Amino acid sequence: MATKKSSASRSKLPAHKPQPKTGAANARSRTKQPASSSLPGPFSLPKLSNKKKPAGKRSSSHSPWQWNAISNERKLDILGIALALIGFLTILSLISTQRSSVTGWWIHTISQIAGWGTFVLPLALLVLGIWLVLRNVERLPLLSAERVSGILLLYINLLVWLHVIGKGGWELAQSGQGGGYIGAFFEQILVKSVGQAGTSIVLAAWLLIAMGLTLDISIPDLFGKIQPILERIQEDWERNQAAKRAEHIASIRAQQQNQVIGQQHHATTPPNAQSPQGYQPIPPAESAHSDQTVPEQRGAAALRPPAQNPHPAQSATIASVTQNAAPVKTDPGLQPSVTQGAAAGRWQLPELKTILDPVMLISLENNIDQERADLIEETLASFGAPSKIVEIKRGPTITQFGVEPQFVENRNGRTRVRVSKIANLADDLALALAAPRIRIQAPVPGHSFVGIEVPNSESSRVTLLEVLDSKNFTHKKSPLRIALGMNVSGEPIASDLAGLPHLLIAGTTGSGKSVCVNSILCCLLLNNTPAELRMILVDPKRVELTGYNGIPHLLAPVITDTDKVVGALQWVQREMDARYHRFSQVGSRNIQDYNKNHSDKLPYMVVIIDELADLMMLAPDETERSLTRLAQLSRATGIHLILATQRPSTDVVTGLIKANFPARIAFAVASNVDSRVILDQPGAERLLGRGDMLFQAPDAAAPVRLQGVYITDQEIARTVDFWKIQAMNIGSETPSPGSHPTQPVQGLPVDTALKQVPLFDQIENTDDDPMFKEATDLVRREGRASITMLQRRLRIGYTRAARMIDQLEDEGIISPPLPNSNAREILDYGQAGPPEDDGY
């Protein structure tokens, strides 16, 4: 049955008729069918191809080396090395005296082609070759097609200029001079087309286009970069000319000074006429209005009757002033102030450009700023605080990125990112940007964004001349205007010391505090004469302000002994009271009203204390009391204080001092605790140092970050030398009392002693201490005497109490210290007698 079914199924299949195959069909069938199909089992033959390869390709496949097989990177390396080698060999051939036939032919050929431009061509080839070899190094300028075409146009422009200057035509090119054949070709075309004058105009336009293509900037930006360079060249030239004139004037003045010293060599000057520290008193300068009528009171106080012999009279006058330093008790409202006497019409202000260094340009890094902006956005988005950079402000030290918080989708809809969330990501942003410190101002006052301040890769210095020449400084008409620095936008910032009215400066060592004090001091000296400003400088460290000794603005040499500072502050308080008394007599409210309505103008007075911590350690109570009283009352009298310290702790910058010093400058500090002591808020601990500061103005809601003004030692020395030379010249021009025997001798004013060094020795004398009588009554009443008792009962400092004890001992009121004890016996009880014993 199975056999029948199989035969039946085979019979039902359609019959397959074999068709004859042609030769081509047989060939195609053989090529389509794999060779292994002809062999049963697992064995198979490899696939063969009868297609023949072209002869050319077969020959190239057997060649040992192919140029097309080399990658483009390798080709650029080979080209760069070849160009650098050609350029280097060409330079050697140009400077060599012996050349081979090949190098001689090469130099002759390029000389005819490029003329004098031959000396530029090998250098360009060398630079191009080095760039091709080092093209993958970062921070190399991109060599685009526009930049290459710009370089070629610039070189051809140079050749044409050389040929125009040479004026030789084709003969000059054949001799290898001028601009060669290239320069001659373009020069002939331009001269025939637009003439000689038009050629210069076309070449100038050609030069601008080539420079724009080479630098890859627009023409307006090109002019913006060229203008500061031209201004700096002009300033350098003017400075050199001014330096030559200054040297010439200095030599003439030195000769005149030597002549004056020779004339005064035989004058009789007693040795006690000089101060203990060798400081010569400033001679009484003639008034600017000496021809006008002098009030009788002033003349009576200033003049003395003539003497028969002028020389002994002069010696006696000076000796009496230095020995009897106690001031005459007269009406202070009728006496001239102790700070008067400078000749207002004689002094001249210095030229700023001859004293200060030129302006330094700020480098721009727009590409880097944009990369940082993108990185800030990515970092904030990764921490769930999407934001958008809406503003970028670049300053000399930091760049501020204005970050506007965006919205976040949640269940309740869209909510804006909290400002505090961005502020808490300061460390994460610093890590992402690889920055040492980042300060976040959340938000920026007056704006609707958060300020992220990132340090620049390269910081720029802010010169004093740059701020003094700015509009923000020149628009202020106050004589006490000071230059502070530049903000994050690169805008110069200046302030008015009269409006502050006092300034507190604090920062660690190396943060820029001393540079800030010197810049403020030089700014005041450059804008005020000694007739307009007088100063008292305190420098316990003896290295910061002692270089200003000798300038006519100082009321006394720089105070380096901390024991004398309290006496100086007491003298300033008496001067303040005397000015208030004078204002009340004439009906003036402040120093501006008084100087406006009176010819005997009062100068401003600035007291600068470089280190407050030393004073607070020596006499904290007296120092705090004096500074507080001056800060509260001295503004109207034109007396202003500048305090600086490198230890901003609560025992140095007390709450009472802070309350009366609303204007403060904070440099880099160690912790946010110190920042809160200075500014009442953190932020100074994230400053970078080296002049990076926060300035808190009295009328500002938040401190402003600035890069402080930097002043060099050379600028300080030039400022001091200018005023010293001018003071010597004015002093030498003033006739001495002993040089004219026929004229009456005009003695020094009664209050001139307060201008000399004995001023502070006189103040330390306890005879004039208003509390000495009270201390005498106290020890007589108590029957005992000690320094601690006087401190506690009279509320005075240790130094003052110790001086009173010494004075009581000198007066014979108390005994010397008993052996093995500090107790003292009362020797003189006065008229009251000893206290009665109650029997207890």
**Polymer length of the chain:** 840
Backbone angles phi, psi at 289, to 5 degrees: -115, 55
Report pLDDT for 241: 74
Mean pLDDT of the chain: 75
pLDDT-based confidence at residue 768 (cuts at 50, 70, 90): low
Where are the strands (E) in 171-248, listed by range?
A: none
pTM of the model: 0.53
Find out whether 342 and 600 touch, Cβ atoms under 8 Å.
no
List Cα–Cα distances, 423 to 256, 406, 427, 692, in angstroms.
66, 15, 9, 21
Domain ranges of the chain: 72-227, 366-455, 466-473+493-727, 765-840
Lowest mean pLDDT among 278-292, 579-593, 597-611: 278-292
List Cα–Cα distances, 566 to 171, 279, 559, 622, in angstroms.
87, 21, 11, 7
Report pLDDT for 412: 77
pLDDT-based confidence at residue 529 (cuts at 50, 70, 90): very high
pLDDT-based confidence at residue 150 (cuts at 50, 70, 90): confident
Lowest mean pLDDT among 54-63, 109-118, 164-173, 216-225: 54-63
Q: What is the mean pLDDT of residues 286-309?
A: 37
Report pLDDT for 793: 87
Instruction: Of 346, 264, 181, give the one whose Cα is nearest residue 729.
Output: 346
Residue with tokens 């001056």: 630
Instruction: Of 535, 493, 433, 465, give the one whose Cα is nearest residue 715.
Output: 465
Which DSSP string corresponds to 144-174? -HHHHHHHHHHHHHHHHHHHHHHT-HHHHHH
Which DSSP string corresponds to 318-387? HHHHHH--SPP---TTTSPPTT----TTT--PPPHHHHSPPPPPPP--HHHHHHHHHHHHHHHHHTT--E
Find out whether 491 and 472 touch, Cβ atoms under 8 Å.
yes
Long-range Cβ contacts of 832-840 (<8 Å, 24+ apart):
832/780, 832/781, 834/783, 835/781, 835/782, 835/783
pLDDT-based confidence at residue 630 (cuts at 50, 70, 90): very high
CATH 1.10.10.10 fits 765-840, yes or no: yes
More confident residue, 839 or 709: 709
Q: Which residues lie closer than 8 Å to 733 by C-beta, 6 or more apart?
A: none
Running DSSP on this structure, what letter comes out for residue 663?
Answer: E
For 97, the token pair is: 């005296």
**Any alpha helices (H) in 698-739, and if so which ranges?**
713-733
Question: Is the pLDDT confidence value at 459 over 60?
Answer: yes
Dist. CA 309–CA 742, nearest whole Å: 10
Q: Domain 466-473+493-727, what fold?
A: Rossmann fold (3.40.50)
Lowest mean pLDDT among 10-14, 326-330, 723-727, 776-780: 326-330
My answer on whether omega of the bond before 501 falls inside 30° of 0, hence cis, is yes
Find out whether 765 and 571 touch, Cβ atoms under 8 Å.
no
List Cα–Cα distances, 445 to 9, 441, 675, in angstroms.
100, 9, 20
Report pLDDT for 36: 43
Maximum mean pLDDT: which of 205-214, 734-743, 748-757: 205-214
Q: Domain 366-455, what fold?
A: Threonyl-tRNA Synthetase; Chain A, domain 2 (3.30.980)
Long-range Cβ contacts of 273-282 (<8 Å, 24+ apart):
273/315, 273/318, 273/319, 273/322, 275/322, 275/756, 275/757, 275/758, 276/757, 277/557, 277/757, 279/549, 279/556, 279/557, 279/756, 279/757, 281/752, 281/755, 281/756, 282/341, 282/552, 282/727, 282/731, 282/755
Find out whether 359 and 466 touch, Cβ atoms under 8 Å.
yes
Where are the strands (E) in 213-293, listed by range?
A: none
